[in-house]
Amino acid sequence: MVKITYIEFNGTEHIVDVETGMTVMEGARDNNIPGIEGDCGGACACSTCHVYVTQGMSDCSEADEDEEDRVEEAPGLQINSRLCCQAVVEGDGPIVVHVPSWNRNAVKEVPH
């Protein structure tokens, strides 16, 4: 198990344990972390699962060429940008992941 801290765009932190070998997106889904869309279902075809890995990048699998090409389409690209459906948890952690605000699809938001 690896500790992953998911930080929402509004600063809310979720600290969870994720199994080694799972993707950062699977860890988010299993723990109901809001804000990660993943429109293509993890097929490296949409870039809506874009996150920033601010700690523990070396504890994630390296981005392959497909991911690198796709993540370039994500708004707000940074050196620590990853598509979380492609980032497999490999090391001991801890890993810290920031979810950008623009991943949220306003159309799908349920009004409060």
Binding interface with ligand FES (CB under 6 A): 38-40, 42-49, 70, 83, 85
CB burial of residue 1 (10 Å; 0-12, 13-18, 19+): exposed
Torsion of CA 75, 94, 86, 45, to 10 degrees: -30
Q: Which is nearer to ligand FES, 11 or 75 (CB)?
A: 75
Q: Which is nearer to ligand FES, 92 or 101 (CB)?
A: 101
Compute the distance between CA of residue 107 and CA of residue 96 in angstroms, rounded to an integer: 28
Q: Least distance to ligand FES from the beta carbon of 85, Å?
A: 3
Q: Least distance to ligand FES from the beta carbon of 24, Å?
A: 10
Q: Least distance to ligand FES from the beta carbon of 94, Å?
A: 22
